[in-house]
Amino acid sequence: MPDRELISLDQAQMAAERFLEKRLKGIKRLSVDRVKLASIEGIIIYDVAGTTTIGMGFISKRTELPFKVQVSATDGTIVGYETQIIDS
């Protein structure tokens, strides 16, 4: 595999934020806690982790969602993600 230039940490974070904004409805706040370069099965990725707060329904109940998004470090595509709902 030829050497390829990697995208920046900021580009990886922006890709993860755009992905979450499209995937989750009603985001009120999005906070990235960590962006870390890693390798999974030979694929170089940025592991982007943090928390997002979403509002739901007519009652202003908020739900916090810790998330982890894996972004390809070579082209910025989303490789994987996970979220977990925590009621607040």
Q: What digits encode the pLDDT tens for the residues 30-42?
A: 999 999 999 988 8
- Specify the CATH number for the domain of residue 56: 3.10.450.630
Q: Can you name the residues that pair with 32 across neighbouring β-strands? A: 50
What SS3 class is residue 19?
helix
Stronger pLDDT, 80 or 58, i.e. the higher one: 80
In a domain, 66, yes or no: yes
In a domain, 4, yes or no: no
Q: Is the pLDDT of residue 88 over 90?
A: no
In a domain, 47, yes or no: yes
In a domain, 54, yes or no: yes
How many Å from the N-terminal Cα to the C-terminal Cα in the chain?
47
Q: Distances from the Cα of 28 to the Cαs of 24, 38, 40, 60, 70, in angstroms?
A: 10, 29, 31, 11, 22
In a domain, 37, yes or no: yes
Task: Report the distance separating Cα 27 and Cα 20, nearest Å.
Answer: 9
Q: What digits encode the pLDDT tens for the residues 47-73?
A: 999 999 887 665 557 788 899 999 999
Q: Is the pLDDT of residue 26 over 90?
A: no
Report the domain count for the chain.
1
pTM for the model: 0.83
In a domain, 2, yes or no: no
- Domain extent, residue 28, equals 9-87
Q: Is the pLDDT of residue 76 over 80?
A: yes
In a domain, 14, yes or no: yes
